[in-house]
Structure 1
């Protein structure tokens, strides 16, 4: 079984950050921390003009939070720290002065929808259905909610958050603003991502930096907001309802 990893690959002015976990690219705390750091480092690297964010494997972009770690949480502080991992990744993406291109090859669930939503321009395949499943286990998309709402609007975000059993099609995600482009195959998508990234590299980095700040204006309070949301999730994961539900997933 391949071990989890986060790897950074610079290629001319394009830096690709790839994360992987054998459990459908779920995100335990250590991978979240590495991912946030990799994004921060790419943002600070003067040689990098554009960042591509992707996951390994073929079928799933990201299954969200690690169930193994969720089940192991037994106090509020541990819960808060775990959910802060997602907050740190989203805030690293928000603060990164480079455009982040998302590459979503397959289904994405929960926190993975938050990560895709925090990209600046997102490509997907026709297999990239999305689901906000948190309510299913008695929590809610509190930490990723602001990022998802920023892309889908309150109507779209609340729709998929309340209907937590349902996968929404890539076409729905595109119509509602999460995906910019949807392709028939991963090969077609990868070709388009590369071409798009190379084209962005021909633009003025200062202009792109200021545009990114403009697109994310109004989100300056997210360090505090997402930390508060992590506390809510950290409490709810200890609720009797959630504990009983998670036992069934063991």
Structure 2
């Protein structure tokens, strides 16, 4: 049985903090991804909230999609549905009228990099290394590519994607604009995060909502694009080469 993990939200004045957790390095099974989507939609309709902070528990920020669930895919339809999970989350973050601040306190892999890329501003630590491992198991980061490339560009995206076993440092992520600010400790990150959010949430909420729309101009096609990308991965996951790669990775 696949563990479900948890999503919790704490609201303080005009700031909502979403915390996700899963025993497998904060990876996301489909159910947990849907819960995150539902929470983002719910908070997006709350007129008293101006800012959403996205964070996780433990030492790893996010290990991406559930590997256990990935191995269980038996049909192309199941594959497309599985890979649509992060498409749903990215689109929910993109279309939310609230500014979303990422607290990337540890490593991020695959979909975890996509989550960071879909935030409007990212705080990280020196230990927040990143990796796109998908092509190494016979698929590819198709769904999250638009969000990641929007932040770091196609060249840097290719550098990550074509070296699926290589970790990129937090400094690399900072230089390539995935992270906005990087700190030597979680304590330093949290101090700056609190200060930043306190100031940002004091501004005119209508101005914040308007700037959110400006930040995401040109992404209107993602409502269709991300699901087309999910279908690519959904088909690839059933290929013989991918099944062999997945079994090697499992061992």
Q: Post-superposition shift, 1:159?
A: 1.0
1:216-247 Cα deviation digits (max 9, x unpaired): 00000101000100000000111111111212
Equivalent positions of 1:1-250 (< 5 A) are 4-57=5-58, 59-248=59-248, 249=250
Q: Distance in 2 between matches of 1:3 and 1:134?
A: 22
Q: Post-superposition shift, 1:47?
A: 1.2
Q: Distance in 2 between matches of 1:92 and 1:207?
A: 20
Q: Distance in 2 between matches of 1:3 and 1:222?
A: 27
Moved over 4 A (4+): none
Q: Distance in 2 between matches of 1:166 and 1:247?
A: 20
1:159-208 Cα deviation digits (max 9, x unpaired): 10111110000000000001010011111111111111111111111111
Q: Distance in 2 between matches of 1:193 and 1:37?
A: 25
1:111-164 Cα deviation digits (max 9, x unpaired): 100000000000000000000100000101100000000000111111101111
How high is the TM-score relative to the length of structure 1?
A: 0.97
Q: Distance in 2 between matches of 1:94 and 1:101?
A: 12
Q: Distance in 2 between matches of 1:187 and 1:101?
A: 17
Q: Post-superposition shift, 1:3?
A: 6.5
The size of the alignment, in residue pairs, is: 248
**Aligned partner of residue 108 in structure 2, secondary structure:** strand
Query: Which consecutive unaligned segments of at least 5 residues does structure 2 have?
Result: none
